């Protein structure tokens, strides 16, 4: 995602033997995510985790490199997705990882999240809506046009 239309050459990190959690320690954030994006009479929310690294970011015009979490805790993907950190310095980019609902620490019903009555909210549509709403809010909060 671009805050501006600028394209810049890529660079490489100098020590690929260390994980990103060590080389680029993130700021941990929490977002109030909507449990059901498609029923407007249900206002329940849960906390959705995200990780941000902004040391390379040319705010507010630099791009946002967004990783949409999948089936696991977000720290594992952050630590093992080196390509984003290779690109970020040359692009002047912010690196942003959002955890997928029902994984890691983003459990809508805590330890009861995977019970049959609660797992009905674990759908692709709900997850994509989480990411869309999160990104819109994050951009506004960060002053990114």
Q: Supply the pTM of this predicted model.
A: 0.86
Rg of the chain, C-alpha, whole Å: 16
Residue 67 in this model has a pLDDT that exceeds 70 = yes
Mean pLDDT of 130-141: 95
Between these two residues, 6 and 40, which has the higher pLDDT value?
A: 40
Residue 112 in this model has a pLDDT that exceeds 70 = yes
Give the sign of the dihedral formed by CA 125, CA 128, CA 130, CA 136. Answer: negative
Residue range 76-92, pLDDT digits in tens = 999 998 899 999 999 99
| CB 64, CB 139: distance < 8 Å | yes
Give the sign of the dihedral formed by CA 117, CA 122, CA 123, CA 125. Answer: positive
- The per-residue pLDDT of the chain, averaged, comes to 89
As to burial, measured by CB atoms within 10 angstroms (0-12 exposed, 13-18 middle, 19+ buried), residue 22 is: exposed
Token couple for 135: 């990104």
Residue 17 in this model has a pLDDT that exceeds 90 = no
Q: Specify the pLDDT at position 60.
A: 86
């Amino acid at each position: 995602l671009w805050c501006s239309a600028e394209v810049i050459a890529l660079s490489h990190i100098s020590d690929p033997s260390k994980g990103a959690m060590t080389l680029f320690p993130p700021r941990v954030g929490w977002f109030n995510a909507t449990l059901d994006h498609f029923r407007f009479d249900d206002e329940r929310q849960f906390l959705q985790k995200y990780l941000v690294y902004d040391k390379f970011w040319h705010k507010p015009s630099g791009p946002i490199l967004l990783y949409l979490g999948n089936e696991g805790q977000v720290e594992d993907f952050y630590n093992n997705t080196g390509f984003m950190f290779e690109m970020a310095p040359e692009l002047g980019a912010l690196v942003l990882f959002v955890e997928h609902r029902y994984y890691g620490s983003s459990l809508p019903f805590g330890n009861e999240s995977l019970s049959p009555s609660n797992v009905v909210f674990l759908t692709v549509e709900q997850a994509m809506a989480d990411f869309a709403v999160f990104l819109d809010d994050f951009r506004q909060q960060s002053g990114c046009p």
